[in-house]
Amino acid sequence: MNPAFDADSGRIRLDATAFEALCRVADPASRSAAALASDAAPLAALHGSGALVDGVAHEALRPSLAAVQQPIASLQLLVTGSAGYRLHQGWLSVVSAVLADVGDGSYDFAAIGTEFVPTLVARMTRLGLRPHLGPASVAVTETVLAALAAHEAGPRAEAAQTLVSATASTWPAWSAAAQGGDWRFWVADVTWPAPADTAASANTATSDDTATSDDTGHRLAVLDTGAGLLRVDGDDSGPRLVAVTPTEVWHLLSSILPADDEVAAAAPS
């Protein structure tokens, strides 16, 4: 696809190849000889869109590219459902950047004020008015959760069917909605480098594929239907689904970014 760049907003829609080439332009030290050769076509397209001017990123893109180059923390937001799979990425800094998965092989890349990251997640996950489920919890397995997050539709559908059965007696309306295909599973991970002395034992370290073993962070995982919201919680006995309200989810989202003392502790001395 040809990139579509809007200089007024600093937003650009592009594919993964063009995005990687754009990042290498902003960080010349990362450009290997092989990358230089393979970047020729995407760079030409980026020039054509106006995102590059004389080989340099347009000034409207510089805040978002700066966040990609030197993030304080990273955001990964996975949203799956009966209809699809999307993986959004963010780089959090004084000004942050987001690469939103449009779902057709293209992405929207833009800068965003860091304090708007919770709103961004809320919009991408369609957080909003839902019935408030009765307080209860239901056990779920890691296998089912992993299948809900699968790229392939088959495992997701099988896992959803498992949830339909597991929740039928506790939250019948929720179960019926999931049975009808009205479900979404989303996982927001914000990670940052753990302090050197705690990296090996960080008890909040996430287990996704992109976070390294030296990362720590905050995770929020939610199962959503039109009948209500369930949060993935866990303890020594394993993961559980717990009824939550949109207010409780927003409360958790508003504190998902690292506190100043958390990232200060992670900063190299």
Burial class (CB in 10 A: 0-12, 13-18, 19+), 260: exposed
Determine the interface stretch with another protein among 20-28, 82-90, 148-156, 245-253 (rule: CB under 8 A).
Answer: 245-253
Q: In terms of Cα–Cα distance, which of 26, 57, 21 is closest to 37?
A: 21
Q: Which is nearer to another protein, 127 or 159 (CB)?
A: 127
β-partners of residue 136 are: none
CA 98 centroid distance within chain: 9
Should residue 268 be labelled a site residue for another protein when binding is judged by CB under 8 A? no
The single residue among 245, 262, 263, 265 that binds another protein, judged by CB under 8 A, is 245
Should residue 257 be labelled a site residue for another protein when binding is judged by CB under 8 A? yes
Footprint of another protein on 86-105 (CB under 8 A):
none
Should residue 119 be labelled a site residue for another protein when binding is judged by CB under 8 A? yes
φ and ψ of 160, to 5 deg: -60, -40
Cβ neighbours for 127, distance < 8 A, ≥ 6 positions apart: 121, 224, 246, 249, 250, 253
Should residue 160 be labelled a site residue for another protein when binding is judged by CB under 8 A? no
CB of 143 to another protein, least distance (A): 29
Number of residues this chain uses to bind another protein (CB under 8 A)? 24
CA 20 centroid distance within chain: 18
Q: Which is nearer to another protein, 46 or 75 (CB)?
A: 75
Dmax over CA atoms of the chain, in Å, equals 64
The single residue among 41, 53, 103, 115 that binds another protein, judged by CB under 8 A, is 115
Give the residues lining the site for another protein (CB under 8 A). 113, 115-116, 118-119, 122-123, 127-134, 228, 245-247, 250-251, 254-255, 257
